Structure 1
Amino acid sequence: MEYLPRIADDVLRERLGAFGAVLIEGPKWTGKTTTAQQQAQSVLKLQDPDRREENLATASTMPSLLLKGKQPRLIDEWQDAPMLWDAVRIAVDKSGGIPGQYILTGSNTVDMGKIYHSGIGRISRMKMFPMSLWESNDSSGEVSLKQLFDNPDYDIDGATSKLNIPDLIRVACRGGWPVALQMSEKSSMLVASDYVNSVCEVDISSIDNKQRNPKIARQLMRSYARNISTLAKRTSILADITSGDITLSMDTMDDYISVLERLFVIQDIDAWCPAIRSKTAIRSMPKRGFSDPSIAIAAMGVNAEGLEMQLKTFGFIFEQMCARDLRAYTPGFGNHLSYYRDRYGLEADLVLHLDDGRYALIECKLGSREIEEGAQHLKEIKRLVQEHNKTEKQVQLREPDLLMVITGGEMAYTRPDGVKVIPLACLKD
């Protein structure tokens, strides 16, 4: 099977050059193990059925034995034996912190109560997400997100997308799963459904050996999908789940949501609350979302043909595809996604924050008719930041470094007011 290069390749290489160990986290089936194997010199697979019991027994009695092997040594699905975390940390300490010794991969977060030390300074954490359109060879890659931040004079005019709206729907249904790219188009559409089935039937309970109801998990994911890219309240989601024959308390629903977050299935987007309005005017609830748009589509039980008849619904899914790709494009220079919305209807669908303090205000608009409205929203938020800085000279806010409308259209251009209009399928890191 051909290995398609990932943006995470360079990030992993850099971190192995600086830290004794690197942890790669993210949803299952995103290619974490395959990416790690490109740079590992030996591999320990804890879920290998032929050696699983032996490996787990060794991890419990003398975990250091499992660390022996040519370095960098990959420890795949390390969360099955959490004591290996401390074993890796101690091994790195004993070596004097020599970089590039171990790579750990995991598809869910671990109860930190089972770990004695956080590993700060020894074990670097990085996240891998499902493939972006650039990584799956669906984006032309003519517009670099890094260049948009670094170069104010970056010329994007005329960059062209390879995908029209039906194409975008198709790649959203397929998702960013590497395995799907090796299949026929018909077969690739089944991957996300199988992913949802696996999460609901197996992972929801196996993560902590606590039996949970697959039907409840499925209904919760369906309700989340119906509310994707919205600020749906927990009470509304609970009411949706229990509208039929399911009885569920808020505490139990919160437990299921927590598990789906630990599995990196649910990926809500936090609110950005700058002091440009009163606290009561700015919405602070999380925006509902998944790590890949195909999860929402599969959970809703729709297909590409159905979404072509429901473009309003696909508009919400398109926003999630934008969020997925933006996360994938910025791991090397830090990122955090949020959104802005206030009671007056002013919003930025996404706010991309970099670790150095720079940030972009972003609207996600599937159709060209919505571009003007999106651009005006972004300019108004920037104006409010500027007005704040005029009146609050002691507490200055950074002005946005980039205003961008991501579209499902064909061509990229810079508006006379400076707002960048860029098709999603033109972007790369």
Structure 2
Amino acid sequence: MTDYRPRVVDAELARRMRVMGAVLIDGPKAVGKTQTTTRVAKTVLRLDVDRVARAALETVPEQLFEYPTPILFDEWQETPDLWNLVRRAVDDHRRKGLYLLTGSATPRDDTRMHSGAGRIGRLRMRPMSLFESGHSDGSVGVAALLDGERVTGTTNTLTVPQLLERIVVGGWPEITDWDWTDARDWLTDYLRNLAEVDVPRLGPRRNPGNIARLLASLARAVGTPLNRSALEVEVGGATGPIASETLNNYLDALERLMVLEPLPAWRPHMRSRTRLRTTPVHHFVDPSIGTAALGVGPADLLADLNAAGFHFESMALRDLRIYSQPLGATLSSWRDTQANKEIDAILELPNGTWAAFEFKLGEGATDAAAESLKAFASKVDTRKHGEPAALVVINGGRFTVRRDDGVTVVPLSVLGP
């Protein structure tokens, strides 16, 4: 595949295949899971369209495991019993890198599956970051930031209008080079299929009109904790508020389809008594979902830079998630209810290393963001958490700078793994 663009997850996949008998790569539809895994698989079984293979799983499943390995079971969730069969095959053969599974939805709740611990590794795949799509040179690495290196990068060459266009187009491999108007048409159809086909398949009482209104409501409040009461009213529309249980079902479906990716709350030990919000901050897996749900383009965002800043935050978070995943990082947000202060993202590594990030579209907001980071860091009990490895403002500005106060400023278009 000469047109394949390397992904950050490629190296993760190779590493997992060296140590695990099977690897699951999941993520929303159209992020490139099949293209990535078919490059390393010797046998490909597409379970969403191959009725013969699905029938064989019911009658003679052992035959599917006789093909040359690695065997890719694409869209494995269409036949959830396959999970336990793969786990057993790994136990029987006792070799590494035998099987690959890709999925764009978690299986139904009533599916009984062994955890797969020790047999099946897991990787999350998201739409392309700016580095993967060729819109960032990656000269400033997240790993280098966490190592405390004094980073320098090339000058950002993307203007604010160009960054806004990247928000609208998103990181979907098929359309990343398209004109934004064509890309938005593609995304409109993507969301329509999501509302009319994908979400209803996950359970009863899935109203496509409600799903479309929910996506728009979530887009209007992206980057904030969910206001469930407001959502129930907005989603219900003219017929009145929907039930809380119905809203929970819709949100659960969007998370199972990996379209909605909430950012959980971080509750650190603080030097002072501080009441913290525990509600997750909601984000889409790609910022283009939000703008498509609202039907807006780059000019609309440029006319409302305050709203554009929230969508920029989603794009920056998407990229930070992608770049930090190979490090085993977890991401969360921090909200102080009393002082109404917040930090966009806290990154933690398994060894306890942590860093704080603020995302700002405008270069002029950098000073305030840096002050917020420093004020937050001063409240964290470093006897329990240690000093932060980095305090970073990721923005849409021009220059990579290590300020005199220790805060590092990095344009999103130079950030990379």
What TM-score do the two structures reach when normalised by structure 2? 0.95
Q: Does 1:153 align with 2:149?
A: yes
Residue of structure 2 equivalent to 1:102: 99
User: Against the structure 1 CA distance between its residues 279 and 298, is the aligned structure 2 distance closer, same or farther, given a 3 Å change threshold?
Assistant: farther
Alpha carbons 2:233, 2:240 under 8 Å: kept: no
What's 1:356 paired with? 351
Q: Contact (CA 8 Å) 2:352, 2:385: kept in 1 or not?
A: no
**Residue 209 of structure 2 corresponds to residue 225 of structure 1:** no
| C-alpha spacing 1:12/1:354, structure 2 compared with 1 (3 Å) | same
1:201 aligned to which of 192, 196, 207: 196
Deviations 1:366-406 (A, max 9, x none): 11221111111111121112xx35xxx6xx22322110000
Cα distance in 2 for partners of 1:148, 1:260 equals: 33
Distance in 2, Cα, partners of 1:118 & 1:279: 39
Partner of 1:365: 360
Rounded to whole Å, the distance in 1 between the matches of 2:274 and 2:244 is: 25
2:140 is matched with 143
Structure 1 gaps, min length 5:
none
Alignment identity in percent? 39
> What corresponds to 1:309 in structure 2?
303
Cα pair distance change 1:185/1:116, threshold 3 Å: closer
Match of 2:58 in 1: 60
Residue 271 of structure 1 aligns to a residue whose secondary structure is coil
CA 1:194/1:278 → structure 2, altered by over 3 Å: closer, same or farther? farther
Who is 2:334 aligned against? 340
Corresponding letter in the other structure for 2:100 = I
Q: Is the 8 A contact 1:271 1:285 kept in 2?
A: yes
The reply on whether 1:323 has 2:317 as its aligned counterpart is yes
Counterparts of 1:40-79 in structure 2, within 5 Å, are 40-48=41-49, 51-52=50-51, 54-79=52-77
Q: What amino acid maps onto 1:345 in structure 2?
A: N
Determine if contact 1:175/1:192 at 8 Å carries over to the other structure: no
Measured after TM superposition, the shift of residue 279 of structure 1 is 7.1
Provide the secondary structure at the position in 1 that maps to 2:133.
Answer: coil
Alignment CA distance shift 1:246-1:131 (3 Å): farther
Query: In the comparison of the two structures, how many residue pairs are matched?
Result: 415
Equivalent of 2:78 in 80, 102, 117: 80
Task: State yes or no: 1:421 paired with 2:409.
Answer: yes
* 1:276 positional shift: 1.1
Report the Cα offset of residue 192 of structure 1: 2.0
Q: Is the 8 A contact 1:60 1:83 kept in 2?
A: no
Alignment pair present for 1:296 and 2:290: yes
Match of 2:159 among 164, 173, 182: 164
Q: Is the 8 A contact 1:139 1:162 kept in 2?
A: no
Letter in 2 for 1:4: R
Q: Give the distance between the partners of 1:350 and 1:383, measured in 2 at CA.
A: 16
Contact 1:139-1:426 within 8 A present in 2 as well:
yes
Q: CA distance change for structure 1 residues 90 and 354 in 2, over 3 Å: closer, same or farther? A: same
Q: What is the CA distance between 1:38 and its match in structure 2?
A: 1.1
Closer, same or farther in 2 for the Cα pair 1:414/1:269, shift >3 Å? same
Q: Which residues in structure 2 correspond to 1:233-272 (within 5 Å)? A: 233-272=227-266
Aligned: 1:379 with 2:370: no
Structure 2: which 5+ runs fail to align?
Answer: none
Which amino acid in the other structure matches residue 84 of structure 1? L
Matches within 5 A, 1:373-412: 373-385=368-380, 388-389=381-382, 396-412=384-400
CA 1:280 to 1:253, structure 2 compared with 1: closer, same or farther past 3 Å?
farther
Quote the RMSD (CA, aligned, Å). Answer: 1.7
Matched residue of 1:282: which SS?
coil
**Inter-CA distance 116–306: structure 2 relative to 1 (3 Å threshold):** closer
**Cα distance in 2 between the residues matched to 1:184 and 1:296:** 18
Amino acid at match of 1:93: D
Cα distance, 1:211 vs. partner? Answer: 5.0
Question: Is 1:18 the counterpart of 2:29 in the alignment?
Answer: no
